[in-house]
Amino acid sequence: MSNEKRQIAILGSTGSIGTQALDVIREHADLFEVYALTANNNVELLIRQAQEFLPEMVVIANESKYEPLKAALAHLPIKVWAGEEALSQVVQAEPIQMVLTAMVGYSGLKPTISAIRAGKTIALANKETLVVAGELITQLAIENRTPILPVDSEHSAIFQCLAGESDNPIEKIILTASGGPFRTFSKEQLAAVTKEAALKHPNWSMGAKITIDSASMMNKGFEMIEAKWLFDVTTEQIQIVVHPQSIIHSMVQFSDSSIKAQMGLPDMRLPIQYALAYPNRIFSNFERLKFNKFPILSFEEPDTCKFRNLELAYEAVRKGGNMPCILNAANEIAVAAFLKDKTSFLNMSDGIEKTMQQVPFIASPDLNDYIQTDAEARAKAKEFFN
């Protein structure tokens, strides 16, 4: 890497990915510098982060939290902004070289588009951006010659497997899934699942929304859609396999039948660090994998009858257009309802399916269509879950 520190903006610095990215930056302060930090609501943690890393700017999306943020940082040379529009403006700042998009859900779409148009390298941890508007985002990235580096552990694994493969065609991508905490449950057991149980992932430490998505397998459906756009493959070229140990993070099969796998202990700091330092591999003090601790690595087919969200994701991406946008919006409302004890675990799929049937389909949406579709789908889903 060059002697100059890489200037990084972190969208969603107070969430699970954001805080782990700051762990990596703290460990490699000689290589990386935080230029901007943003959060939605968690003003207390954002203040502490700003005081430690002294970025040029901080943004709180929730405007009601602006005054306490500004007051707490008044003695420091930090620009303080508020509001959703400010998120899209901050990423355009000239010195920023890389934008880590670690916001949760649909909220990451507009700032990511803004960063791509400004020519910033994107470290993509917000999979919903490609789920909602994959065609639009990939086209914009091509037009602006903007690299998109995947941060999801599975997509980072695929990206790493493709390193050095040049134009060798991909025959198949094999996305691994832990299966979540309810992999062995019957449908009857799933019907009685509580949010407390769903929030306990067996292998990964993640935020609440993605943990529920993982338990319902929607997360894997989203990752399948994301992989289609990131790696320019068809859905028929993506196979999902359940791998409960979460040691193999994903695989790529080539036309000569050879399969490459990327392996390691489940630690999100590794794919975050790989994206931040790309194309270099830099030292880490992360725990090393000892094979004798994992004498058996097992694989099985996902059960789409029990975990219907996975089938709904395939249905959405096959239909294309604005259907994945509808899927995502309905899922965000479903997960919020489940976390507030307003719906059951299995009922989330019913509400998502109903929303997909009721919101008008648009075959070739533009950005305004996506914005309108998202609003309509949320309204329909809220009718179902309230």
Whole-number Cα distances in Å, 32 to 24, 92, 381 = 9, 18, 42
Per DSSP, the three-state class of 157 is helix
pLDDT for the residue 162: 97
pLDDT for the residue 205: 63
CA atoms of 198 and 354, how far apart (whole Å): 23
State pLDDT tens for residues 89-132. Answer: 999 999 999 999 999 878 889 999 999 999 999 999 988 899 99
Interaxial angle between packed helices 153-162 and 218-230, expressed in degrees from 0 to 180 and rounded to the nearest 10? 30
Q: List, in order of start, the domains of the chain with CATH numbers.
A: 6-150 (3.40.50.720)
pLDDT for the residue 171: 98
CA atoms of 336 and 382, how far apart (whole Å): 10
pLDDT for the residue 1: 54
Residues of the chain with pLDDT under 70: 1-3, 204-205
Cβ–Cβ under 8 Å, residues 53 and 22: yes
User: Strand 148-150 relative to strand 79-82: parallel, antiparallel, unpaired?
Assistant: unpaired
Quick one: which H or E segment has residue 158?
Answer: helix 153-162
Cβ–Cβ under 8 Å, residues 39 and 17: no
Cβ–Cβ under 8 Å, residues 335 and 213: yes
Closest among 349, 346, 255 to 310, alpha carbons compared: 349
